[in-house]
Amino acid sequence: MSVSLAVVGATGAVGRIVLQLLAERRFPHSKLKLLASRRSAGQQIQFNGSPVTVEELTPDAFQGVDLVIASTPDEVAAEFVPWAVERGAVVIDESGFWRMHPDVPLVVPEVNPEAIDGHHGIIASPNCSTTQMVVALAPLHRAARVRRVIVSTYQATSGTGLVGLDELKLATTAALQQQSHPPSAFAHPIAFNLIPQIGSPKYEGYTSEEMKMVLETRKIMGDDQIQVCPTCVRVPVEIGHSESIVVETERPLAVEQARELFQAAPGITLLDDLAAKQYPMPRSCAGSDDVFIGRIRKDLSHPNGLAFWCVSDNLRKGAATNAVQIAEWIVEHRKP
Amino acid sequence: MSVSLAVVGATGAVGRIVLQLLAERRFPHSKLKLLASRRSAGQQIQFNGSPVTVEELTPDAFQGVDLVIASTPDEVAAEFVPWAVERGAVVIDESGFWRMHPDVPLVVPEVNPEAIDGHHGIIASPNCSTTQMVVALAPLHRAARVRRVIVSTYQATSGTGLVGLDELKLATTAALQQQSHPPSAFAHPIAFNLIPQIGSPKYEGYTSEEMKMVLETRKIMGDDQIQVCPTCVRVPVEIGHSESIVVETERPLAVEQARELFQAAPGITLLDDLAAKQYPMPRSCAGSDDVFIGRIRKDLSHPNGLAFWCVSDNLRKGAATNAVQIAEWIVEHRKP
């Protein structure tokens, strides 16, 4: 089975990795179209050693396209996704715009691949912080039912795209020379600092990013009873989101049991040996497609509690990898 | 009332700030002695505009000393504190060595100043992460009884002293030039990275730093029923520890109530306006003596839960300021 594929947002931080993954994983496609805003149209991007010219994102660009992998801001996705669907394409959208729409499956292939089947032309890929968390929670939920999650994030600057990465470098260089660099990608200086706000104020003192972790988790895991209390924080790291997670389950889970569940779960790599100073860290996990878990221990404050530390490349599993996995699933399960 | 004072560890990251505070706050002393290891003895340090020569830390150095403020590694404190006490001095010790000793009060003046009275020559100042947390918890505990605390820390490199600060700068400079800088103050690269281990493995997968937050919190707050689940993480920040705290209280607390309690509590500054992008951040809180609190909100996952974000200068309230406050209390309450 080979498809005519379009990558939307091909020049962005995630789009570039989508292209890398398609090449690395030899994604079966008969045609590849790269689409981006008018500003980026005309650029040449290397794919598998050959240059491909970026075309402008217009309604007619989707003529003859079977499958779309898109990574754009919400407002762009709101506009272009219907263009593609009306022309018969299936869109895998990484923006936040369509995720909570009742007709749109929100999918992490390790957790709810079966949801893909119910699509009506759009399949959404979750927020990066949510994706790695649900990959970690899924095996625990299946074994012991997750009731409550308290999560504090340590999110990399690449979460806001290439501008975030650039600002971290420029601001840090300036700070080392005792100079200031006016923030623009972030609301506050990011060099040697933490910003405890990601997204805009949304609900009862929580930000939009935090509410994504509450609502998307329930939708992906198919359980509206899961309670989540998130705190999302931007940290001066380039790539790799980290999460300190404390989970309460209906039935207690021993640490050894949890370790076995993680070990057997798809998409998870255990790095858990405190005595040997082994645990996931953003710099060592960046560039990998897996979700890395370590520091697994009993929650000292609750009989059914478990604490752990979870790191994943926010541009890969948090975005590009998850979308490409969904695309692979669609191609494999395509009716002839 | 004026005392003969000795500052031990005067050349360290915290010792330097102790001296600044003594000068700024016009601490009433008749004599000031600066003590440090043999390696640092002979150095001259400015105090209030005049040079003071650092003397070697020996048993006889405490002859005629009334009060000691000490910031040294645990093993140094284990040895020298008895020298001082035997010679009639009262020691305020910032190391971890004496904190959990049953005869040693562990004091945060905003929380349990009355404990100072019971001392037998030694008063311990808590771990930096614990101090700022109990300042924040104390007013909630008085009003509604704290039952459970889940805390994830974001701890600055100055927590390991000047070597940690230096390593952050050198490693970051190297990383910006695509070069590597072998870690020595930390077990792993700290530039643009996170290290989810502070201290050594201690109990059931928790580190020594984490267990300090469990045990010291109970001792300071005088309540062995308080359950704490901590995760301690080193972040590439110079000064200022941050904490994401979720607390469950026996009686529910509304956000407005919590805000009023924080506002009325000593040592706390509220910075809590998400819509105006106002919340504590390490770079803006460094250099202040207060504990800063923001992002106050209901815990969405528990009816009696409250979430907030707490930042404080780890070298000041987390160490030097707390010790100087204890010293001031002793001088004020000294029997003539």
Using CB atoms, pick whichever of B149, B228, B300 lies closest to residue A229. Answer: B300
**pLDDT at residue number B334:** 81
Residues 6+ apart with CB under 8 A from A324: A18, A21, A22, A25, A27, A69
Q: What is the dihedral of CA A227, A71, B235, A213, to 10 degrees?
A: 0
Q: How far is A43 from chain B (nearest CA, A)?
A: 27
Which residue stretches of chain B have pLDDT < 50?
none
**pLDDT at residue number B89:** 98
Which residue of A lies nearest to B254 if distances are taken between CA atoms?
A204
Asked if B255's CB is within 8 angstroms of A194's CB, the reply is no
**pLDDT at residue number B1:** 57
pLDDT tops 60 at residue A1: no
**pLDDT at residue number A334:** 81
Strands B305-312 and B241-249, by their bridges, are antiparallel
- Tokens representing A274 are 């405190």
By the 8 A CB rule, do B217 and B134 touch? Answer: yes
Asked if A255's CB is within 8 angstroms of B233's CB, the reply is no
The three-state secondary structure class of A150 is strand
Q: Which of A128, A232, A285, A310 is catalytic?
A: A128
Which residue of A lies nearest to B174 if distances are taken between CA atoms?
A173
Put the strands of the sheet holding B90-93 in their side by side order.
B55-56, B29-36, B3-8, B67-70, B90-93, B122-124
Contacts of A217 in chain B (CB under 8 A): none
Mean pLDDT of A268-294: 98
Please say if A241 is a catalytic residue: yes
Put the strands of the sheet holding B241-249 in their side by side order.
B227-231, B146-154, B241-249, B305-312, B291-298, B268-270
Distance CA A116, CA A104 (A): 9
- Give residue-wise pLDDT tens across range A181-229: 999 999 999 999 999 999 999 999 999 999 999 999 999 999 999 999 9
By the 8 A CB rule, do A233 and A210 touch? Answer: no
Which residue of B lies nearest to A151 if distances are taken between CA atoms?
B152
Contacts of B307 in chain A (CB under 8 A): 229, 231
Number of residues in chain A: 336
**pLDDT at residue number B2:** 80
Q: How far is A146 from chain B (nearest CA, A)?
A: 12
- Give residue-wise pLDDT tens across range B215-231: 999 999 999 999 999 99
**pLDDT at residue number A2:** 80
pLDDT tops 80 at residue A269: yes
Q: Which residues of B164-196 are buried (b: 16+ CB within 10 A; e: fewer)?
A: bbebbbbbbbebbeeeebeeebbebbbbbbbbb
By the 8 A CB rule, do A238 and A164 touch? Answer: no
Average pLDDT value over all residues in chain B: 97
Distance CA B212, CA B198 (A): 11
Distance CA A111, CA A293 (A): 16
- Give residue-wise pLDDT tens across range A50-85: 999 999 999 999 999 999 999 999 999 999 999 999
pLDDT band at A15 (very low <50, low <70, confident <90, very high): very high
pLDDT tops 80 at residue A166: yes
Q: What is the identity of the amino acid at B58?
A: T
Burial of residue A38 (CB within 10 Å: 0-12, 13-18, 19+) is: exposed
**pLDDT at residue number A134:** 98
Best of B173, B223, B235 to substitute, by most chain A Cβ atoms within 10 angstroms, is B235
ipTM of this predicted structure: 0.96
**pLDDT at residue number B336:** 61
